[in-house]
């Protein structure tokens, strides 16, 4: 899809938005980033799924990769508080091919774990895009994934408890990494094409029957969204 088609599609869809919603989309999209890509493994508690989505969006990251095996990633909408409107959830099978797929997109695989001489979050320097992997609620990250990962990252613990709930860990990591990016001088925000695609998705999600309107427009104008 060419930039011209993206721009025209967004211009068409904007007419269905209120001025208030359009203003919010324009404002918050400027801070969006995919420099940190949260990856969650087989999350089965819908409240945890929802809390992760909510924290990711609040920190200005708008995509989550959910690796599924036994359980489907289904956030509780009462807990997300509307954050699911703004966060794209990509569902992939929980296997090593999916991790390789993510790595092939240009992400360093960083697992949140105390294993393998983990670097502590306060001292961690983020210099390139990372896929931040959180394990299952009960078992954590598998040894196979630990062996595949480029790095491990840990949150310092100061009490008897040796781990945070997965949604809490995600919140802490996403917030801290966002602060590091803001202070780094790195160009971590979305490029023009990604930004337009995201604003289109946000607009579609904001319109009643938005998906049908969007698909009809693409068909009538012979536009391939991919």
Binding-site sequence positions: 155
Helices 192-206 and 19-29 pack at an angle, to 10 degrees, of 150
The H or E element that residue 200 is part of is helix 192-206
- Pick the closest to residue 32 from 141, 226, 189, 204 (CA basis): 189
CB 122 within 8 A of CB 157: no
CB 121 within 8 A of CB 155: yes
Q: How far is CA 180 from the centre of its chain?
A: 17
CB 126 within 8 A of CB 36: yes
- Could you list the residues known to form a binding site for S-adenosyl-L-methionine, using ranges: 155
- Pick the closest to residue 1 from 217, 193, 212, 214 (CA basis): 193
Tokens of 24: 């919010």
Using alpha carbons, list the distances in angstroms from residue 37 to 57, 128, 134: 12, 11, 11
How far apart CA 163 and CA 12 sit, in angstroms, is: 48
């Amino acid at each position: 899809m060419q930039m011209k088609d993206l721009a025209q599609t967004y211009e068409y869809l904007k007419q269905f938005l209120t001025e208030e919603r359009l203003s919010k989309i324009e404002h918050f999209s400027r801070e969006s980033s995919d420099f940190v890509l949260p990856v969650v493994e087989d999350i089965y508690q819908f409240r945890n799924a929802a809390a992760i989505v909510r924290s990711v969006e609040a920190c200005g990251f708008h995509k989550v990769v959910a690796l599924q095996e036994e359980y489907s990633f289904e956030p509780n909408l009462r807990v997300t508080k509307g954050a699911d409107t703004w966060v794209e959830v990509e569902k992939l099978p929980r296997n090593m091919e999916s991790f390789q797929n993510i790595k092939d997109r240009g992400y360093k695989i960083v697992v949140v774990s105390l294993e393998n001489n983990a670097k502590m979050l306060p001292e961690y320097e983020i210099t390139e895009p990372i896929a931040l992997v959180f394990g299952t609620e009960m078992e954590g990250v598998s040894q196979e994934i630990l062996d595949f990962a480029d790095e491990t990252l840990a949150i310092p613990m100061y009490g008897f408890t040796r781990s945070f709930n997965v949604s809490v860990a995600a919140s802490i990591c996403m917030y801290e990494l966002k602060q590091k990016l803001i202070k780094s001088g790195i160009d971590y925000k979305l490029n023009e094409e990604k930004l337009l695609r995201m604003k289109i998705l946000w607009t579609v999600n904001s319109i009643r029957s938005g998906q049908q309107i969007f698909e009809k427009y693409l068909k009538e104008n012979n536009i391939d969204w991919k």
